[in-house]
Amino acid sequence: MARGKLQTYRQKRNFARTGEPAGGSSGGPGNRFVVHQHHATANHYDLRLELDGVLKSWAVPKGPSLDPADKRLAVETEDHPLEYIDFEGVIPEGEYGGGPMIVWDTGVWAPMEDAEESLRKGAFKFRLFGEKLKGGWMLARMKPRPGEEDRNWILFKERDPFADTTVDILASRPESARSGRRIEELVAKPKNPAPRPARLAPGRIEGAVAGPAPERIPPQLASPTPAPPDGDGWLHEIKFDGYRTAAHIAGGAVRLVTRGGLDWTKRYADLPAALAKLPCREAILDGEIVATDDKGIPRLSALQDALSTGAAGKLTFYAFDLLHLDGWDLRNVPLIQRKALLSQFLAGSVTANSAIQVSDHVEGDGRALYERASEMGLEGIVSKRADAPYQSDRSKTWLKAKALQADDFVIAGYTVSQAAEGLASLALAEWVDGELQYRGKVGTGFDTATLEALLARLEPLRSGAEPLDGAPRDIIWVRPVLSARIHYGARTTDNLLRHSVFKGLREVELTSAASAPACKRLISDADLATIWVTNPTRRLFGRSGPTKLDIAVYYAAMGDFMLPHLLGRPVSLFRCPTGRPQDCFFQRHPFTGMPPTIASFDTKNSEGETKGYISVEDVKGYLALAQFGVVEFHSWGTLRKNLDRPDRVVFDLDPGEGIAWREVVEAAVHVRGALQGLGLEPFVKTSGGKGIHVVVPTTRKLGWKQFHQAASEISAGIAATAPTVFTTVMGKENRRKRIFIDFHRNARGATAVAPYSLRGRAHMPVSTPLSWSDLESIDAPEDLNYSSVPGLLETTGDPWADINDFARELPPPLQVKR
């Protein structure tokens, strides 16, 4: 019986070279277990349980934890022979799993239920009694994504006397349970690396270090500089406008990892197959994935279009660094030598039309390349010290110079030309601490048609506009709702722009939602006639902020889109009755004078106290709230009539310090894939701030406690797939350069900002539902604001109009599968 089970194990190994056992014992009803620490392509742990004549095996990348809150990914691998339970040593380089291995823990185990049936069902509980691991444990199978094998499990400790939330058992007990040695003591620099062609000898280069390829290398980032550095000793490369990507190649398999650490291999069509053909056992290349526009210029918009339309076969991977090759870490090798080795490595694989290209460079003075990049409309250039090692994170040995400085500025007004009888220039401003500050005029970069179109859009915005300090008197002021992309040479000491050129409006174009179901009209003209607010010209959030009437008009215009996601749900209201930010507050409970059609109801809060809450039940109540200074709507994930059966789960992706918007978008796409692997259908919206909300409609099968716990375990499972990107632990110190998956919005009484709600900031951003393809077209979420969103939805419709049709059953706790 065991012979057939070991077929895969034996096919992967050459027993003439490796000291691993071939296996011959048929065994008996044994109950031994072993946990190996194994340093192959990356350090990991292997859990093996003696069952039915073999060792059932799971690879646990982060190793077991005594803390029941830690959910560790465990990938089921091939069965191993019983003799493997005592194996400790070094698997030769070039062999499957090459690298050192120790018996980290060993002992006996026992199933809590029928083992075969539990494994079949994917909920396997067992007890261990080893030198380090004791007590109850569980393996829960995760549902595979379409096309994936059913191999991923979650391993975690059960809550019993052997659980421990304070001790990291991997760090406190690193030694072998068999020999007492640490795994580092088995590692030796290979005396005879596997032969390669003579022209490629990475081990001969000074600075190369023998060792397995890391699971991930954080990228080196360039520091901004106004111009390329002078002098010798620099290499200058074109700065590409694409997705920074590390290509990990190992044994013919390829992983394409984003700057933020996410595996996006499946998104890039044929690129992985092209990289898999490179002549190596393992390698790590640093580069950029790009797509070009019709002029052959790499553009991020072209890349986003290719990915959203499925035309990913037009992508190119530009390699500009070689960090690891066949057992040799090259990060300490000087850049000039790494690039020479990279060119040799790719020499036989790169043609004029191949999907893999080498990013070339010029040495010495980079001004000519910089000027050429400016003429071609490229992003700019990156200058790198030729003698420098590779340094993860931002450094001064890599410098980036934009071809021209480019930023987005608010259009605060315009001037007219009496001679031309039309627009002459735009007055520019930017937000500083919630107030607009004047930044000068731009009067070049327009053609006649653009001037006419701009004037037509700006004239209706004159009403209610406020002048800015320090600006000329000839400016006609407009409400600050449009932004322009401006190229400029520098700023003066007064922070005014010099040599500015208009490059276009920063437009938001949403196209994918055009096929969404038509929005049913909920607000009639008679309803609109009932809107009444006192102090309509009172400004909120500063002198440049919107008026109370602006907010009332926005909610009136958005009611048909917003109300289907709001009516009948308990809400909390963010009110700003005086217009001063310090006087704003949350209104969770019924209040004096509230509109009669705002419903109130009593229920117990998390402390067991009976409290009154409110919900919006009809159009009149919704519109009447404008008079009460309501700026934001925050809703529960349930209907008032089904209060204890939630129907929407929210995964709030909250970026920590150092996370750019594009990285949050990458993370949201990754979360979408994980949720779809669970059989769920996620929807997406901006939070109105720096984050993104991934929202899943669910059937009303679970109560709040199970609902919250299931959201917690799903979040933990997602975080485990990219622990350097995500965290589920609260606290600012845990979020630095990571994205917090906030699942606590799914507890009873918790709220999340409602779809299409405004956010209480000077430029009034909107928490805007989007289609997934449109999400990647958004460069700045603040562009989705109280002025732009109503116009966008008139043409595209509500991308969430049919969200309830996609309600699926949320996997209950301990049965989460991905």
Tens digit of pLDDT for each residue in 95-122? 888 889 999 999 888 888 888 899 998 9
Which residues does residue 754 pair with via DSSP β-bridges, in sequence order? Answer: none
Q: Let me know whether 356 and 376 are in one domain.
A: yes
Closest CA to 96 of 178, 155, 225, 10: 10
490 located within any domain: yes
| Spatial distance between the Cα atoms of 571 and 562, rounded to a whole number of angstroms | 13
DSSP 205: S
Q: In terms of DSSP H, where are the helices of 334-447? A: 335-346, 367-376
| Spatial distance between the Cα atoms of 657 and 732, rounded to a whole number of angstroms | 9
Closest CA to 474 of 423, 524, 508, 517: 423
Q: Let me know whether 213 and 224 are in one domain.
A: yes
Q: What is the 3-state secondary structure (H, E, C) of 69-86?
A: CCCEEEEECCCECHHHHH
DSSP 442: E
Here the CATH number for the domain that contains residue 738 is 3.30.70.3300
Closest CA to 730 of 652, 662, 672, 811: 652
Please calculate the CA angle 194-196-200 and round it to the nearest 5 degrees.
130
**pLDDT digit string (tens) for 737-756?**
899 999 999 999 999 999 99
Residue 530's pLDDT is 65
Q: In terms of DSSP H, where are the helices of 197-354? A: 271-276, 300-309, 335-346
Residue 300 predicted with pLDDT over 90: no
Residue 199 predicted with pLDDT over 60: no
**pLDDT digit string (tens) for 744-790?**
999 999 999 999 999 988 788 999 999 998 888 787 888 898 888 88
Q: Let me know whether 772 and 636 are in one domain.
A: no
Q: Give the DSSP H/E element, type plus range, for residue 128.
A: strand 123-130
510 located within any domain: no
Q: Let me know whether 411 and 398 are in one domain.
A: no
Among 451, 475, 505, the domain boundary falls at 505
Residue 306's pLDDT is 82
Here the CATH number for the domain that contains residue 436 is 2.40.50.140
- Cα→Cα distances 171→75, 132, 320, 729, Å: 22, 12, 36, 20
Q: Let me know whether 452 and 601 are in one domain.
A: no
Q: Let me know whether 636 and 559 are in one domain.
A: yes
195 located within any domain: no
Here the CATH number for the domain that contains residue 567 is 3.90.920.10
The residues, any chain, with a CB within 8 Å of residue 447's CB and separated by 6 or more, are none
Residue 403's pLDDT is 79
| Spatial distance between the Cα atoms of 599 and 621, rounded to a whole number of angstroms | 9
Among 444, 470, 505, the domain boundary falls at 505
- Cα→Cα distances 351→212, 316, 339, 646, Å: 30, 12, 18, 56
> Which residues are tagged catalytic?
239
Residue 525 predicted with pLDDT over 90: no
Residue 414's pLDDT is 96
The residues, any chain, with a CB within 8 Å of residue 412's CB and separated by 6 or more, are 427, 428, 429, 436, 438, 465, 468, 471, 475, 477, 478, 480
Provide the mean pLDDT of the chain: 86
pLDDT band at residue 680 under the 50/70/90 scheme: very high
| Spatial distance between the Cα atoms of 521 and 525, rounded to a whole number of angstroms | 10
The residue ranking higher by pLDDT, 520 or 223, is 223
**pLDDT digit string (tens) for 569-619?**
999 999 998 878 888 999 999 988 888 889 999 998 777 788 999 999 988
Query: How many CB atoms neighbour CB 123 within 10 A?
Result: 17
Closest CA to 733 of 660, 667, 661, 657: 657
Q: Let me know whether 759 and 745 are in one domain.
A: yes
Residue 818 predicted with pLDDT over 60: no
698 located within any domain: yes
Among 355, 387, 402, the domain boundary falls at 402
**pLDDT digit string (tens) for 116-160?**
899 998 999 999 988 899 989 999 998 877 766 778 899 999 988
| Spatial distance between the Cα atoms of 631 and 489, rounded to a whole number of angstroms | 39
Residue showing tokens 């393996």: 139
Closest CA to 248 of 267, 264, 237, 232: 264
520 located within any domain: no
pLDDT band at residue 29 under the 50/70/90 scheme: low
**Cα Rg of the chain, angstroms:** 30
Residue showing tokens 């080795």: 341
Query: How many CB atoms neighbour CB 153 within 10 A?
Result: 23
pLDDT band at residue 196 under the 50/70/90 scheme: very low
* Burial annotation 273-300 (CB, 10 A radius, 16+ → b, else e): ebbeebebbbbbbbbbbbbbeeeeebbb
**Count of domains forming the chain:** 5
Q: Residue 221's domain spans which residues?
A: 202-402
Residue 467's pLDDT is 92
Residue 239's pLDDT is 92
Q: Let me know whether 674 and 746 are in one domain.
A: yes
Residue 516's pLDDT is 52
Edge-first strand order for the sheet with 692-697 is 726-727, 739-742, 648-655, 692-697, 683-686, 769-770
**pLDDT digit string (tens) for 452-506?**
889 999 998 898 788 999 999 999 999 888 888 888 877 888 899 987 888 888 7
pLDDT band at residue 420 under the 50/70/90 scheme: low
- Reading phi first (left if > 0) and then psi (alpha if -120 to 50, else beta), residue 252 is in left
- Cα→Cα distances 82→25, 29, 34, 51, 85, Å: 7, 12, 10, 9, 6
Residue 545's pLDDT is 78
Length, in residues, of the chain: 818
Ranking 60-64, 444-448, 697-701 by mean pLDDT, the lowest is 444-448
**Most confident listed range (289-303, 373-387, 719-733, 747-761):** 747-761
Closest CA to 214 of 269, 318, 286, 273: 286
Q: Let me know whether 89 and 39 are in one domain.
A: yes
| Spatial distance between the Cα atoms of 53 and 119, rounded to a whole number of angstroms | 16
Q: Let me know whether 245 and 320 are in one domain.
A: yes
Q: Give the DSSP H/E element, type plus range, for residue 453.
A: helix 448-458
197 located within any domain: no
193 located within any domain: no
Q: Let me know whether 249 and 292 are in one domain.
A: yes
Q: Summarize the confidence of residues 265-287 as an average pLDDT.
A: 92
Residue 147's pLDDT is 66
Q: Let me know whether 232 and 350 are in one domain.
A: yes
Residue 372 predicted with pLDDT over 80: no
| Spatial distance between the Cα atoms of 282 and 214, rounded to a whole number of angstroms | 11
Q: What is the percentage of the chain residues whose pLDDT exceeds 70?
A: 92
Query: How many CB atoms neighbour CB 314 within 10 A?
Result: 15
Q: Summarize the confidence of residues 326-347 as an average pLDDT.
A: 92
719 located within any domain: yes
Q: Is the whole-model pTM more than 0.75?
A: no
Residue 241's pLDDT is 87
pLDDT band at residue 816 under the 50/70/90 scheme: very low
